[in-house]
Structure 1
């Protein structure tokens, strides 16, 4: 058994990084516990393993008495003196026993202790290896699918991509390569669980940080972000350097940078816009190419009412309201989009109202004047009563109209 133990100790130390002393302690405690539950039940044992050669030694701990009532815990003074001369009553004797006496259970227990220690080490190592990678993108291989969840092999450990963290429409088979964001390390009864995501906005944001050097070095900042995984992402950016166009930096030459990210996201649309602190400017920018005809801001309720032309309505709202929802999340305001109704102006009605007000006559008389072509005061210049009568007005009406025109002209 000693050669087996030594081999295991050396393997654990070199390949797994487990200290030899830690493994010895685990094996000793496991053997002692198992032996005391088996053939050595009720007996106190002392077990030692030589770290150099793996040799196992065992002793039974016996109290020296002059009358033995329990041979598993006591030894007569005469037998004790033969083993250790000069020992006194009441003292404790360490009587070495053959390790084989511990039985097959002890050997199995040693193996179990090694496996348990290895599993515990693997758990601790997973946390230590990945704790600084939370929030970063990791690459792995799909190992298996269980219901809607995908288990991903990251090389040093297995991670979990739950169904709700997957992008709708994406399908992965065992053996496929996959990139995800390491979202968190959760404590479970089985040990630390590495939790992945592809649906989180943080995944896309991290892709831009890796792809766009201006974001990585802080020249360009992502001020606002909104995403519906698998469909569309909107992000608003600003530059700390007036010489750097933030949108252009993210898009890249001929769209190279953003195309790389779109490929990773399997065709998900990405809108990159300039950031504005003013919500009205921001909403106009976010809804392009739709152009709001009217914008009303409710500061208290953090609500924006937009009215857009009928031809822009579908663009502004988007498929199933997607564009409006993303714009609302991007800005942080509630957005209502309505159709803009063009106001038609009745020229005759406007002229009639204006003439009735200017001459202080009733609407009906003013309507007859406008219909006859007298749409403004200027037209009455040189007009006489006969001209009005020819247009269908009575002599009294003509006289009244001309008198009012004269009065208004005189006041002017």
Structure 2
């Protein structure tokens, strides 16, 4: 059995990284517990394993007494002299026993203990290896899909990307390489579970940090962020250095930086805009190319009503309202978008108001003049009292109108 134990110790130490002393302690405790449940029940045992050759030794611990009442725990003082010369009452004698005497059950239990310790160590190692990588981008190989979950081999461990963390429309086949963000490590009854994501806004933010050196060094800062996975991402950026254009830094020369991120995201559109502390200015930037014609702010309820012309309505709202939702999250206000309708003034009413304001006519009289085609001061040119009389005005009304127009 010593050769078997030695091979187990060497394997665990070299391949799994479990210290030899740790495994010896696990095996000893397991054998001792199992042995005491079998034919050795009631005994006190001492078990040692040589870490160099794997040899196991076992002893029965017996108390020296004058009168033996339990031979499993006690030994007569005279017999004790064989094992320890000069033994007296109360001494503890270690009586060596054949390890095989511990029984087959003890050996089986030792194997089970080894496997349990190995599983426990694997769980501990997974947590230790990945706990500092939360928030980082990792690469792995797709292994399989179970229900809607995607299982990915990261090399040292297997991780899962739940359905809600996958981007709609993306499909991955077994064996395909994939990049994700390590979202979190959940401790479950089965051990630590590594959760990956490609749908999280943190994934795109981390891609920008890796691709744009100005973001990594703090010169450019992402102030606001909103994402609809697979459709569009909007980010608002500022620069701590007036010489650095934050939008240009993120886009890169000829769009190289943002194109690299778009490729990683499978063609997802990315809008990069300058950040404004003023809500209206921020909204105008976020809605481009749509142009708001009217913006009404409800400060109390943090709501914005935006009106755009009919041609811009579809652009502002976006497919299934996605652009409106993104803009709302980016600005941090609830957003309502509706069509802007131009209110056309009534030309008849304008003409009546012009005549009453210019000459002081009563509204009813001005309305009759407009009805006869006289809708402005210029229309009175060449008009005489007789013309007004022919149009249905009384001689007195005609004379009064001409007098007011003439300024008499």
* Fold shared, TM-score > 0.5 on shorter chain: yes
Q: Structure 2: 5+ residue runs without aligned partners?
A: none
Residue matched to 1:37: 37
Per-residue Cα deviation, 1:182-218 (whole angstroms, up to 9, x for no partner) = 0111111122111111111101111111112221122
Mapped partners of 2:378, 2:266: distance in 1 = 70
User: 1:189 maps to what in 2?
Assistant: 189
State the match for 1:72 in structure 2: 72
2:81 is equivalent to residue 110 of structure 1: no
For 1:77 and 1:173, locate their aligned partners in 2 and report how far apart those are by CA, in whole Å: 75
**Which one is further off, 252-261 or 178-187?**
252-261
> 1:276-325: CA deviations, max 9, x gaps?
11111111111111111111111222111111111111111111111111
Partner of 1:248: 248
Alignment of 1:84-103 (within 5 A): 84-103=84-103
Q: Distance in 2 between matches of 1:146 and 1:232?
A: 28
The equivalent residue for 2:287 is: 287
Question: Structure 1, residues 114-156: CA drift from partner, whole Å, max 9, x if none?
Answer: 2222222211111111111100010001122221111111001
Would you say how many aligned residue pairs link Structure 1 and Structure 2? 408
Q: 1:376 and 1:310 mapped to 2: Cα distance?
A: 34
Aligned to 1:298: 298
Give the aligned partner of residue 23 of structure 1.
Answer: 23
| 1:161-240 equivalence runs, <5 A | 161-240=161-240
Q: Which residue of the partner structure matches residue 362 of structure 2?
A: 362
Question: Alignment partner of 1:292: what SS?
Answer: coil
**CA positional deviation for 1:55:** 1.7
CA root-mean-square deviation: 2.0
What secondary structure sits across from 2:295 in the alignment? strand
Q: Distance in 2 between matches of 1:353 and 1:82?
A: 132
Distance 1:73 1:276 in 2: 83
Tell me what 2:307 maps to. Answer: 307
Deviation string for 1:162-193 (max 9, x for gaps)?
Answer: 11111112222221111111011111112211
| Aligned counterparts of 2:228 and 2:198: Cα–Cα separation in 1 | 11
Question: 1 CA distance for matches of 2:143 and 2:82?
Answer: 64
Structure 2: distance between partners of 1:166 and 1:381? 78
- Secondary structure of the corresponding residue to residue 323 of structure 2: helix
How far off is 1:232 after superposition?
1.6
2:389 is equivalent to residue 393 of structure 1:
no
Aligned: 1:263 with 2:252: no
Q: Which residue of 2 aligns with 1:121?
A: 121
3-state secondary structure, aligned to 1:54: coil
What's the CA shift for 1:392?
4.6
Alpha-carbon shift at residue 226 of structure 1 (Å): 0.7
The alignment's TM-score, normalised by the length of structure 1, stands at 0.93
Matches of 2:103 and 2:173, distance apart in 1 = 48
SS class of match (2:293): strand
Residue by residue over 1:225-270, the C-alpha shift from the partner in whole angstroms, topping out at 9 and shown as x without a partner, is 1111122211111222223222222222332222222222222222
Task: State the 1:220 CA deviation.
Answer: 1.5
Distance (Å, rounded) in 2 between the aligned partners of 1:38 and 1:162 = 47
Deviation at 1:373, TM superposition (A): 4.9
Looking at structure 2, the residues matched to 404 and 314 of structure 1 have their Cα atoms a distance apart, in angstroms, of 54
Take 2:188 and 2:222, find their aligned partners in 1: how far apart are those partners?
34
1:317 matched residue in structure 2:
317
Give me the whole-angstrom Cα distance separating, in 2, the residues matched to 1:241 and 1:92.
79
Cα distance in 1, alignment partners of residues 34 and 151 from structure 2: 36
Q: Does 2:342 align with 1:342?
A: yes
SS in structure 1 of the partner of residue 9 of structure 2: helix
CA distance in 2, matches of 1:284, 1:262: 24
Please give the alpha-carbon distance, in whole angstroms, between the structure 1 residues aligned to 2:267 and 2:366. 65
Structure 2: distance between partners of 1:219 and 1:370: 68
Structure 2 residue 123 is the aligned partner of structure 1 residue 138 = no
Q: What SS class does the counterpart of residue 342 from structure 1 fall into? A: coil
Measured against aligned partners, the alpha-carbon deviations of 1:17-43 in whole angstroms (never above 9, x if no partner) come to 322221211111111111111221111
